[in-house]
Amino acid sequence: MNPTFDPDSWSPEATATMETISTASQGSALLTTVNLAYIIAAILFIFGLKLLSSARTAPRGNMISAAGMLLAVTVTLLDQQILSYTALAIGVVLGAAIGAVAAYKVRMTGMPEMVALFNGFGGMASLLVGWSEWHFLAGLPALAMTQPLAFSQSVIALAVLIGGITFTGSLMAFLKLSGRITGRAVVFRGQKLLNLAVAAVILGAIVAYVLTGQSGAAYPVFIGLLILALTLGVLGVLPIGGGDMPVVIALLNSLSGLAAAAAGFAISNTVLIVAGCLVGASGLILTVIMCKAMNRSLGNVLFSGFGSTASSGTKGAVQGEMKPIGCQDLYYVLEAANRVVFIPGYGMAVAQAQHLVRELGEILEHNCTEVCYAIHPVAGRMPGHMNVLLAEADVPYEQLMEMEPINAAMEQTDVAVVIGANDVVNPAASDDPTSPIYGMPIINAHQAKTVICLKRGQGAGFSGLQNELFFRENTRMYYGDAKSSIQNLVSEFKES
């Protein structure tokens, strides 16, 4: 006969032991559930990132990645000991309100600045996580630590370093892109040596911080590291010109991911490590693609000071005359064309002309004209800027063509319409060895039978270089604001 177990008859020691076993069992089950949820979230991140590689599947990929992040955040809130759900709720509401207002008010021309700010806030979040973890470790007994103190301090230092550089570097990019400070590269004597000295002091501060352990000297060293990281972010972006901003934004995006991964190691959060590594790797790949599109190394972009007065000088000055064309004459040129290629640039974004460009394209298609849009990887002020604008205007994805296939067909193009683009169509990149952009792959608009350039005036582009294309025999300048100019052209077609 089996004995009957009566918990009420157990001794206090036995009861405490059983409660400990039960708590441990529940904790183990919760940990298994949390890790499983993190794995699912990581899979959603990877799958969503894959879908982001195509404009057609990007909206679905964005939703899948958002679902993965929602799962990760929810599980983390259930897993961790939260100090105050009220504070979290207030933060969520305030953040959502600010994000909604920003999304509603920011125009498409302000998207590069918005992306730069997003990268910066991501870096600051990682910095604050590292700073908070430092305070937590400072009062934690050595026996209570789940990982070696030296490792914890190293990843905290990396989170603060990369996060600080990302934050102030992104703020500098925001100020340059928004015109609050000069968009040109700012260089001065001894700048590279200063940056190198700051970087060397930072490495020394990291070593000193790790060696000081939990002693009283650790905090001053930590604060010094934080200040130096913020300073290096400013000094690093200062000598980079506005023409290189697509590369800078991609690199800062990568750094924000690496900062998040370091913060994940600091707080032992698996999903934060995975998400940070994905963002860091994808941002670095995009940075390499941007550099390849300009035929320049990352070091050249970061340290050459391209776009400064000193680096540009009088290079790029072109002798000749720009030949204008009127709306009615341009109507006849387009009306007779069999193939038209639109080449958008930042000028189209400034004028908010993408919807009218799409309308003009549809009118030409109804006139039995083949229409497509040539997209240069670094056109605009951020990666994919032109794709975003044209997608917003509902331009069919199949009409968006990358640089290589469009160049192969450019000689068979009757009219190339350049809307606010400059360096990405400048023939000096292939013809003039003295040009600062020599060797940069461009869209060969000059090979079309006729080139129409929409431009406000006769000034140089954002990089400060004059465009040889404007002086070619087969080029005509259609002056004025791109939106009103195309509107007049559309009206001319409708009237006819």
- 149-177 and 191-212 helices, crossing angle to 10°: 150
Q: Are 127 and 259 in contact (CB under 8 A)?
A: yes
451 Cβ neighbours under 8 A, 6+ residues apart: 415, 416, 418, 445, 469, 472, 474, 475, 476
Known catalytic membership, residue 423: yes
Of the candidates 8, 79, 394, 423, the residue annotated as catalytic is: 423
Instruction: Please give the pLDDT value at position 197.
Output: 95
Residue ranges per structural domain of the chain: 25-105, 108-312, 327-495
> Greatest CA span in the chain, whole angstroms?
110
Q: Which two tokens stand for residue 242?
A: 């506005």
> Cβ(463)–Cβ(440) under 8 Å?
no
- Dump pLDDT digits (tens) for 312-357: 444 445 667 899 999 999 999 999 999 999 999 988 988 889 999 9
Q: Is the dihedral of CA 471, 475, 478, 480 positive or negative?
A: negative
149: Cα within 13 Å, side-chain hemisphere: 17
Dist. CA 237–CA 233, nearest whole Å: 6
* Residue 369 to residue 364: CA distance in whole angstroms: 5
Whether the pTM exceeds 0.95: the reply is no
User: What pLDDT, on a 0 to 100 scale, did the predictor assign at position 311?
Assistant: 47
The CATH code for residues 327-495 is 3.40.50.1220
b/e map 332-356, b = 16+ CB within 10 Å: ebbeebebbbbbbbbbbbbbbbbbb
- Which residue's structure tokens are 């968006």? 400
Q: Which residues of the chain have pLDDT under 50?
A: 1, 5, 14, 18, 20-22, 24, 309-316
Q: Which two tokens stand for residue 236?
A: 């690093």
Give the separation between CA 218 and CA 231, rounded to whole angstroms. 20
- Phi/psi of residue 120, each to 5°? -65, -45
Residue 402 phi, psi (nearest 5): -80, 175
> How many whole angstroms separate alpha carbon 306 and alpha carbon 313?
11
What's the rounded Cα separation, in Å, for the pair 257 and 272?
A: 9
31 burial (CB, 10 Å; 0-12 / 13-18 / 19+) is exposed
- Rounded Cα–Cα distance for residues 233 and 250 (Å): 15
Rounded Cα distance between 352 and 428, Å, is 28
DSSP 3-state helix, strand, coil percentages of the chain (rounded to 5)? 65, 5, 30
Q: Identify the pLDDT of residue 13.
A: 53
CA dist 148 and 151 (Å) reads 5
